[in-house]
Amino acid sequence: MFSISNVLALQAIFWGCTSLYFSSDHQRTFAQSMPKALGNTLFVATIVLAAFLLGMQYNAWAMIFSTITMIIFNLALVTFTGAHENRPLRLLAYGTGVNVVLALIGGVYVA
């Protein structure tokens, strides 16, 4: 069984990576990108939230490793999905679905 805090941490990192992607000049989802300061602030805030959620369950090294791994995975997921999907709601739905399925399949060992 998976822990709800692991799923919340995974989703927080996904939303942070999505905000970072939406603030990029190279994104194709919106005609005009989000302000960079807002995207960076949301990214850092969600990473801190995810680190706090994971820090309640794991030791420091496991939390750091899990956070970095999830950031890399979600940045790749958002970039590859955003290259083929130009509707923001579908991009968010695909990423949320993949992360929930990943947490369900992996159980407590994912995130």
Whether the CA torsion 107, 74, 60, 46 is positive or negative: it is: negative
Q: How far apart are CA 66 and CA 85, in angstroms?
A: 27
Q: How far apart are CA 83 and CA 105, in angstroms?
A: 26
Q: How far apart are CA 24 and CA 36, in angstroms?
A: 7
pLDDT digits (tens, 9 = 90+) for 12-68: 999 999 999 889 888 777 778 789 999 999 999 999 999 998 888 888 998 899 899
83 lies in which domain range?
A: 4-109
**Where in the chain does DSSP place strands (E)?**
none
Q: Which amino acid is residue 36, in one-letter code?
A: K
What is the pLDDT at residue 30?
76
Total domains, the chain? 1
pTM: 0.85
